[in-house]
Chain A
Amino acid sequence: MKQLKKEKLAPFLKEMNKERTVYCPQSVDEKDIILAPLGKGEITDEACKTSISFKSILFPQKEEINLFTRGGVEKTLDKNKTAVFGVRTCDLRSMEFVDNFMSRNQMKDPFYFAKRDNIIIMALACNGPLSETCFCTDTGASPFLYKGFDLQFFDAGAFYIVESGSSSGDKIIESDYFIDADPKDEETLKKIKDYSIKAEMQAPGVSNAIEWLKEKTPEPEFWEDLATACIACGGCSYVCPTCTCFNIFDSPSNRGFLRFRTWDTCMYEGFSRETSGHNPRGALGSRLARRYLHKIKEDPANYGISGCVGCGRCSDACPVGLGMIEIIRQINKI
C-alpha cells in the first residue's frame, strides 16, 4: 500500500503520458467532465461519473478494423500503449463482463484485445454515490474492487491511498511520486470501505427483479405501455458499459477501402429486420423488452452475473424518463 499526494497526481499522469497515452476525467469549459486523453481539459479530482463509459476506450464508437487494398486485406489492430486513471468500479465490473463476451467460445475479438492487452487500469474507488442515479450496491456489488485493476486509488482527502493489484501496478508504485503508506492508512482505508459500502444509494430493487424474472416475464403489453414514450434513440445502449453490439460499414479512403465498426443498438428497428423485410422485433415494446431483459434475465441465466452494473447512465441519458431504474421499478410493481 502506498500514498499519492493529490498535488502529485497531475505530474505523475503527465510523466506516464510520455510513454503511453493516458486517459483521465477532465473538465472542459467548466461544465462537462469527459474521459479523454490528457490535454483535452483540466485534470479534475471532482467525484463524478463521466457521461460516456470507459468502454469507449477499448471499444470506441467508431474504429477502423480492416484495410482493403490491391495487395489484400489487412487487420488494423490498435496496439498503442494506454493507461486510464479514474475509472470507477462499476465500469471495471463491466469490463470483466465485456472481456468474457469478447472471448466467448475460445474466440478472441482481436480488435478489442489489442487495446485491452495494452492498457494499464488505475481505478478510483467511490467514497459514496457519485450521482443520484448510482445504484451499484443494489446490484450486489461494492463501490470498490477486490480484483481486476493494476492500481486502485482511494480518496483520503489530501492524498490517495493506493493499492496494487498486478505486477505492472507493483512496478508503477515504485516510482518517486508514491510514498510509503502511513501506519494509520490501514485504518483509514477500512473506514472508507465501510462507509462507502453502507452509503445510501438509489435502490430500485435489482436483485428482487432478477429473482422474479427467473420464473416469470412481463407480458408484451407491459413493454408496449413503457414504449409509448420511448423514442428509440439508442442512447441507453450507447452509454451502457456492457452494451457491445456493433455494425460494420465500408468507406473509401486514400489508403484503400476501410472497414469500420461502429456502435449499434437493438433499440433500432433495422437492427433485427430480416432481408425479407420481416422483423421479429418490429414493435418498439418488443425491442425495449429485449434490451432490458437481456441485462437482467438472460445474462444472469447465461453467465451467472447481472448485465447491469448499476452505473445509472441509461437513466441519466434517457430523454424520456425510462432507463434501468424506472424499468426495474415498474417490474417490481407487477
Chain B
Amino acid sequence: MTNSIDEFEDASVFMVIGSNTTANHPLISARIINAVKQRGAKLILCDPRCIDLASIASIHIRHKIGSDVALINGFMNIILNKELEDKAFIKERTENFEKMAEVVKKYTPDYVAGITGIEPELLVKAAELYASSKRSMIVYAMGITQHITGTDNVKSCANLAMLTGNIGTPSSGVNPLRGQNNVQGACDMGALPNVYSGYQPVADLFVRNKFEKQWGVDKLPDGKGLTVIEMGQEIEKGNIKALYIMGENPFISDPDAKHMHRALKKLELLIVQDIFPSSTSEFAHVILPAACFAERGGTYTNTERRVQLSHEALPPLKGTLPDWKIICEISKRAGFPMDYKDPSEIMDEINITTPSYSGITYERLKKGWGLSWPCTSKDHPGTKFLHQGKFTRGRGLFHVIEYIPPAELPDAEYPFILTTGRLRPHFHTGTMTRRTAILDREAPAPVLDINPEDAKALRVRNGDQIIIESRRGALKLAVNITLDVPKGVVFSTFHFKEKNINELTLCALDPVAGIPEYKNCAVSIRRS
C-alpha cells in the first residue's frame, strides 16, 4: 500500500476494484463501510460480482471479467475530455503523459462500453466522482493481479492516480491489499526470483558485491530465477529435479492441478517444510516439521509496510523447529554455516544490507507498535505514505497500455466463465482453517455460485449437483443460485482439497510477474 491503514479514516472517495474486501480484508472493509455510513465518503465499486460492499456503493460497475484496462483507460479518457486532470501534478511529477494520453483517446465511453458491457453514462459518473476529490484512494487485490494482464492492470491504476494527482498525499494513493499476514515481508526479504531484500536487483553488480561481501562468498548468480509456475514447467521438462517448498501447498493453490500433479510426481527429491501435513506433502520425500507462529519469535510486515514484533507464546512442539532454525541447520549441513543466535541477529543483518529496513531494529520495535518502511536510519520515524514530493524512481512514469482480452474466452463448447476467490472463514487451501472445527462448520463444502437465469436454462435448483468442466478437468459441485454473479459467470473457491477447483483453472501467465489468470477460464456446466 502507498497509504497506511489509518488513512482510510480520512479518504473522501474509495475506488475498490478487484477486491472482495469484506471477505478477505474484513477490518479494512469495516473502515470503508464506516467511512461511507458515518461520514458520507463515496465508494466506487468495480467488481463483476455483487460482493458485500455493493450494498453501500455509490456506484457499482459490474464490468466484464478481464476488462479492467479498458475500464480504467475509459475513466482516463473521460477525465481528460472534461479536463479534470491535475495539470500541475502531471507537469511537475510525471513523465510520458503525452504518449499515454494519445492512446487513451481511443477509449471513448462508447468504445469502452463495447468491451466492458458498462453503459457510457455510468462510466462518466464514476470517472467524475473519482476525479472530484484529492482524497481518492484506489484499493485493489487479486481481482486486479490474477490476470494475464495483471501488471498492466496495476500500471493502469497507477496511471489513473497520477492523472488526478491522487498519490503522495494523505488518504490518496494506490493500495494493493496483501492477502497474507507476511506476504509483504516475504517479498521485502527477496523471496522473489529477481531481487535481494528491499527489491535490490540481482542483475545489479553493485548489489551483488554488497551481498557477496556480507556473506563472505564469491560470485553470487547474476541471472533471474524462476517463478513458482515456471518451476512446475521446468520440472516437467526435466530441468528441475529437486524442490524445497516452505509453507506452501501448490498442489491445491496452483492452477491446472493435474499438471502440478505430474510435476510433483516427477521430482527426484521433494522437501516440504510446514506446520501440518498438506496435499503437497503427500508427494514429499522429506518432511521438515516447522513450529507455528505462536511458537517462535520474529517479525511480520503487514499490508501497510509495518514491521511488527511477534513473541514466542509457547515453546515449539517436540521435534519441530522455527523455520529460520531449520534453514540454518540445512545451510550448515550444505557447507555454509549460519550462526544466528536468535531472530534479532537476522534483523541486524537486514539492517546492514537493506536500505529501506536499515532503521528497523528490535530495540525500536520493542518500544512501540511497529515501524513502516522505508525507515532508513535509527532515528527515522518510518513512512506513513509513499511518494511524498517525489516518486521513488524520480518522476512518475505514465505507461501506455492497450486492452488485451483474457487468455481463454468462452465459446460454444465452454460457454461459461469461471472465476475463483476466497471466503471469509477460510484461509487459502484450508491447511489451517479447515482443521478448526468451528471455522470449517462456517463453510464445510464448496458451492458454485450461478446466476438464476443460467440455472433456469440448465434446469437446476438450488443445491443440485452439476458437473463443471474445463479443458483441463472436471468437478462435481452443488450450485448456489444467486444474483451475486452475472449471467454467464460462475464463482467458486479454492479452499477445499476434496473438490479442488484448480483442477479446472488455466495456467496462462502474466508475462512480467508470472501470475496465473485464476480469475478467468472457460467452462461448461451440465446437470449431474
**Chain A contacts to B: CB under 8 angstroms:** 29, 228-229, 231-233, 247, 249, 262, 264, 268-270, 273, 277, 319-321
Contact = CB atoms under 8 A, between A and B. Distances in A.
Nearest to A230: B30
Contacts of B30: 229, 231, 319-321
Nearest to B463: A277
A277 B34 CA distance: 32
A249 B437 contact: yes
A264 B438 contact: yes
A262 B438 contact: yes
Given A233-B26, A249-B437, A228 B442 contact: no
Interface in B13-56: 22, 26-27, 29-30, 33-34, 37, 52, 55-56
A229 B33 contact: yes
Nearest to A224: B55
A261 to B, nearest CB: 11
Contacts of B27: 231, 319-320
Contacts of A270: 438, 441-442, 444
Interface string B419-458: 0000010000000000001100110100000000000000
Given A228-B56, A231-B424, A268 B441 contact: yes
Contacts of B37: 228-229
Contacts of B34: 229, 320-321
Nearest to A271: B441
B311 interface: yes
B9 to A, nearest CB: 11
B438 A228 contact: no
A202 B285 CA distance: 61
* Dominant secondary structure of chain B at its interface with chain A: helix
Contacts of A228: 33, 37, 52, 55-56
Contacts of A264: 438
Contact of A231 (B26, B56, B444): B26
A231 B442 CA distance: 13
Interface string B41-81: 00000000000100110000000000000000000000000
Nearest to B29: A231
Contacts of A268: 438, 441-442
A36 to B, nearest CB: 12
A277 to B, nearest CB: 7
A266 to B, nearest CB: 12
A249 B29 CA distance: 32
Given A270-B438, A320-B34, 6 more contacts: A228-B33, A229-B37, A233-B26, A247-B438, A262-B438, A321-B30
Nearest to A234: B438
22 contacts: A29-B311, A228-B56, A229-B30, A229-B37, A231-B22, A231-B26, A231-B27, A231-B30, A232-B424, A233-B26, A247-B437, A247-B441, A262-B437, A264-B438, A268-B438, A268-B442, A269-B442, A270-B444, A273-B441, A319-B30, A320-B27, A320-B30
B440 to A, nearest CB: 9
B481 to A, nearest CB: 13
A264 B436 CA distance: 12
A249 B52 CA distance: 31
Contacts of B441: 247, 268, 270, 273
A262 B52 CA distance: 29
- 10 closest A-B pairs by beta carbon, nearest first, are A270-B441, A320-B30, A231-B26, A249-B437, A229-B33, A270-B442, A229-B30, A319-B27, A228-B33, A247-B438
B16 to A, nearest CB: 15
Q: Max chain B CB contacts within 10 Å: which of A233, A247, A270, A319? A: A270
Interface residues of B, number: 19
Q: Max chain A CB contacts within 10 Å: which of B22, B424, B437? A: B437
* Dominant secondary structure of chain A at its interface with chain B: loop
A249 B440 CA distance: 12
A253 to B, nearest CB: 14
A249 B439 CA distance: 12
B313 to A, nearest CB: 10
A106 to B, nearest CB: 30
Nearest to A321: B34
Nearest to A276: B463
Nearest to A270: B441
B362 to A, nearest CB: 13
Q: Max chain B CB contacts within 10 Å: which of A229, A233, A270, A277? A: A229
Contacts of A321: 30, 34
A123 B27 CA distance: 36
Contacts of A269: 442
Contacts of B52: 228
A290 B444 CA distance: 23
Contacts of B437: 247, 249, 262
A35 to B, nearest CB: 16
A270 B438 CA distance: 8
Contacts of A319: 26-27, 30
Contacts of A249: 437
A110 B29 CA distance: 42
A273 B56 CA distance: 27
A270 B423 CA distance: 14
Q: Max chain A CB contacts within 10 Å: which of B27, B30, B33, B444? A: B30
A332 to B, nearest CB: 18
Contacts of A273: 441
A264 B438 CA distance: 7
B332 to A, nearest CB: 32
A215 to B, nearest CB: 29
Nearest to B309: A29
B416 to A, nearest CB: 24
B381 to A, nearest CB: 20
A309 B52 CA distance: 33
A264 to B, nearest CB: 6
Contacts of B22: 231
A268 B463 CA distance: 21
Contacts of B56: 228
A270 B52 CA distance: 19
A269 B52 CA distance: 15
Q: Max chain A CB contacts within 10 Å: which of B26, B37, B424, B438? A: B438
A319 B31 CA distance: 9
Nearest to B444: A270
B427 to A, nearest CB: 14
A228 B31 CA distance: 11
A132 B375 CA distance: 34
A309 B30 CA distance: 27
Nearest to A322: B30
Contacts of A247: 437-438, 441
Contacts of B55: 228
A201 to B, nearest CB: 24
Contacts of B442: 268-270
A197 B424 CA distance: 43
Nearest to A226: B37
Nearest to B36: A228
A29 B365 CA distance: 12
A262 B435 CA distance: 14
Nearest to A319: B27
Contacts of B438: 247, 262, 264, 268, 270
A274 to B, nearest CB: 13
A103 B26 CA distance: 38
A319 B55 CA distance: 20
Contacts of A233: 26
